[in-house]
Amino acid sequence: MKKGLLLIPYLKGYGGTETVVNNLLNQFDKNMNDLDVSLSTYSFGGSESPWWLKHNKVRIIYYPQNKLIRTIMYMISLPLVIPYLLFINKPDFVISTNPVIWFIAKKASLLLKLDINVIAWYHYSYELKPVKPIFLKSADKYFTISKTAKAELIEKDVDPKKIFVVYNPVLPSDKVIKHSDQHNILVYVGRTEYEGQKNISELFKALSKIKEHDWILLNYGVGPDKKELVDLSIRLGIEDNIKWMGFKENVFDYIEEADSLVLTSSYEGFSMVIAEAVSHGLFAVSSDCPSGPSELINRENGRLYNPGDINKLSQLLENVIHGKYDNNHEAIKASINHLYINHYFDNFIAQIRNND
């Protein structure tokens, strides 16, 4: 049996990476008696919202919540803790989402003379969230979450034979989010950021251009910029149309009717929220940002616009409200069959088996 370790840093608990890890570990739990691959997970710091770490195989090594103190503790302890974990577990492979961790793991395996394949499993764009070359090229293999990420690695002179596109796992859902009677309910799910990655100000500006003002935006998320965005909505005259719903675990369980998910991100790693929306039969409108949305959204399940093109985004949302798209729920769901967890898990395990 191949024995592996998944090493992850502190994660807040609200993002797509957490959902991916949670889905993967659940699938390992379900298939543990039929697999010739095992995976134990170590979390260096746990999480602000630990709902996604409720697995028997997750061992949490606690670090301070304060980011500065935690970073200092990482610098002091990880070069000792990671070699210790490799020595006591003697895994065949190590997977990590963090460049520093996979770098230390590789150095430690060489120092301890252990035959360990170190796999980099980065959940961001290598172009927009770069990794220092010394860390980047230290891995033996690379699992990428999009074809775009693979192309970025090749551009950075990583051997294409070491790169495997695994995407991200999505849970199929029996639930269908139905159309609203007026086709006027829009949904945003993600961090509350004025600009930055999520760039919600662009969404608000586009919404303010819609001629009919009977639409509703359900805003599910938490973040640092809510007050600034509320002030913007007041200046744009759309404050009564926006409902601040807060963060919800398994957010799509709370949404009974809606007509489109909307994302205006400046960049994404994969955009799990698009995949989850589509798995519930929900149409999606998104910026064509690097990387991810263009590999998820097609004519069956949504529309893309160029980032910054507020007029185009406004037009697409008007089209949703006017019912101009043939949003067949089953066709939308089927458009991402290759990402559903069983298919994904088989591919993930196959790549681990082939990592010799």
Give the pLDDT confidence of 271-298 residue by residue, as tens digits. 889 999 999 999 999 999 987 899 999 9
Q: 2-169+341-353 sits in which CATH class? A: alpha beta
Task: Decide: residue 48, CB within 10 A, 0-12 exposed, 13-18 middle, 19+ buried.
Answer: exposed
In one-letter notation, the amino acid at residue 248 is K
- Specify whether the CB–CB gap between 147 and 165 falls below 8 A: yes
> pTM of this prediction?
0.79
CATH superfamily of 185-338: Glycogen Phosphorylase B; (3.40.50.2000)
Residue 17, pLDDT score: 86
Cβ atoms of 139 and 100 closer than 8 Å? no
- Tell me how many degrees the CA angle 245-293-137 measures, rounded to the nearest 5: 110
- Answer whether 129's CB lies under 8 Å from 49's CB: no
Per-residue pLDDT, 55: 65
Torsion of CA 271, 274, 278, 284, to 10 degrees: -150
Q: What is the pLDDT of residue 272?
A: 87
Segments of the chain with pLDDT less than 70: 55-57, 213, 355-356
Range(s) of the chain covered by CATH 3.40.50.2000: 2-169+341-353, 185-338
pLDDT of residue 237: 94
Is residue 92 within 8 Å of residue 3, measured between CB atoms?
A: yes
